[in-house]
Amino acid sequence: MILITPHLSLAEATTTSTGFDNTPTPQHLANIKLLAEKVFEPLRVLVGNKPIKLNSVYRSAKVNKAVGGSTTSQHSKGEAMDLCATNMTNAKLGRLIMDNLEFDQLIFEMPINKEPKWIHVSYSSKKNRKQVLIFTNGKYIPFKDSLIH
């Protein structure tokens, strides 16, 4: 098994059910490593080293198109990951990121009864905006504390 960081393997970062090749370029791999070092590994510490489920990390252009991703998706650059908590709510996982880590974009995805289905987080090697959004009813809205647990 090839590890990118202690808790992220290359296989986890590139898994896809589309059947398309999802091999990252060296630059994509460098971006994935930076994202893991700056967000994923520190987040593991914040959750007491419990596992965090990865839904999606890197997506090649074909994979991104097949899953309906945005043409400007940071997943296609290796700069984003979609996460689910295993020992707390997704809302709490998102708040841990928001309150403790550097990031470019944090999205509480499709909340039902104030609980997001998953958390999208990105990290850029350039400037990180610390933008926090909620994706609901087909649109992105600015984060409002009252909309998430």
**pLDDT single digits (tens) 19-38:** 999 999 999 999 999 999 99
Q: What is the DSSP letter of 79?
A: -
Domain ranges of the chain: 3-147
User: What does the CA dihedral 147, 139, 141, 37 come to, rounded to 10 degrees?
Assistant: 90
Question: What are the CA-CA distances from residue 115 to residues 112, 122, 136 (Å)?
Answer: 5, 20, 11
Q: Which fold has domain 3-147?
A: Muramoyl-pentapeptide Carboxypeptidase; domain 2 (3.30.1380)
Q: Do the bridges between strand 105-109 and strand 131-136 make them parallel or antiparallel, or are there none, so unpaired? A: parallel
pLDDT per residue over 95-145, tens digit each?
A: 999 999 999 999 999 999 999 999 999 999 999 999 999 999 999 999 998
Q: What is the pTM of this model?
A: 0.96
Which residue type, as a one-letter code, is found at position 75? H
Q: What is the DSSP letter of 143?
A: -
